[in-house]
Amino acid sequence: MNRYDTRRVLITGAGSGIGQATTLRILAEGGVVVAADISEAGLADTVAQAGADRERLHTVLIDIGDEGSVKRGVKEALAILGGLDVLVNAAGILRSSHTAATSLDSFEQIIRVNLVGTFLMIREALPALQYGNDAAVVNFSSTSAGFAHPYMAAYAASKGGIQSMTHALAGEYAKDGIRFTSVQPGSISSGMTSGAGKSGQSVGPGLPDDVDYSLMMKLQPILGSGFAAPDAVAGVVAMLASADGAFITGTEIRIDGGTHA
């Protein structure tokens, strides 16, 4: 199924986890992709995994928390692609701590990378998306945006902001034909949740040493006994940004195996 034949796609956080899985999925469906990440090693790993599809894969280094880096990186990506049809904002960081012990620098870093970084990518890509074919933007919120995840107040704030921003953008750019949706992953195994990712923008949660796991017990998924693979999210992202998602905008889809059912 080649839903992405001739479609030009820019994906952030593509060096590991869900961003990498989404890159490989859209390549498999025929897309031409620029994979962006802060980690050169992570991008090299994505290229290595792309196999025969790597001829349609290009890479760009972007630190989404840095405005200058975003401007340079998006400009380079657009030059490579010759336009843009799809933007996937998968890059992000996750930090956990007792709120009373959270420094302002730490709180602002999470907001800067997750929320401001998503905004910067969208702002720089919008002029190209307005001329794109069936243009779509898929942002990454989280189940943390709407449910209580202990020790993750800053992360929840950043993801709640992304979700609200997605709704606002869907209305603002509806007449331009650009669809905006977000996904809410939860109970997904990735570099962000395990701390094992290659991407500098996929950092593990680092739960406090004295974490009370009884607060986390309600977060176990109904489907299966553990976390799902990143592919579980990649397939949904691919649907949302394809013609199959043509009548979906201004909303979010929760992907958590029923954790919050």
To the nearest 10°, the Cα dihedral for 120, 100, 196, 225?
Answer: -110
Which pLDDT does position 233 carry in this prediction? 96
With residue 156 as reference, give the H or E element that holds it.
helix 153-172
Could you tell me which residues are beta bridge partners of residue 61? 37
Which pLDDT does position 217 carry in this prediction? 53
Q: What is the CA radius of gyration of the chain?
A: 17
From the options 3.30.1510.10, 3.40.50.720, 3.40.190.10, 2.60.40.1930, give the CATH code of 8-255: 3.40.50.720
Mean pLDDT in order along the chain per 10 residues (261 residues): 94 97 98 98 98 97 98 98 98 94 96 98 98 98 91 96 98 98 88 43 58 63 77 96 98 92 83
Tell me the whole-structure pTM to 2 decimals. Answer: 0.90
- How many Å separate Cα 144 from the centre of its chain? 14
| Given 4, 131, 151, 155, the catalytic residue | 155
Residue 36 CB coordination number (10 Å)? 33
Which pLDDT does position 206 carry in this prediction? 64
Which pLDDT does position 197 carry in this prediction? 37
Would you report the helix, strand and coil content of the chain in percent, each value rounded to 5? 45, 15, 40
pLDDT in tens, 194-252: 443 333 343 445 667 787 766 655 567 777 657 889 999 999 999 999 999 999 999 99
Task: Reply yes or no on whether 155 is catalytic.
Answer: yes
With residue 99 as reference, give the H or E element that holds it.
none
- 136/248 Cα distance (integer angstroms): 10
> Residue 186: which residues within 8 A CB-CB, separation 6 or more?
142, 143, 144, 219, 221, 254, 255, 256, 257, 259, 260
- 85/123 Cα distance (integer angstroms): 14
Residue 210: HSE in the Cβ half-sphere, 13 Å Cα cutoff: 2
- Report whether 42 contacts 15 (CB < 8 A): yes
Q: Which two tokens stand for residue 243?
A: 């013609």
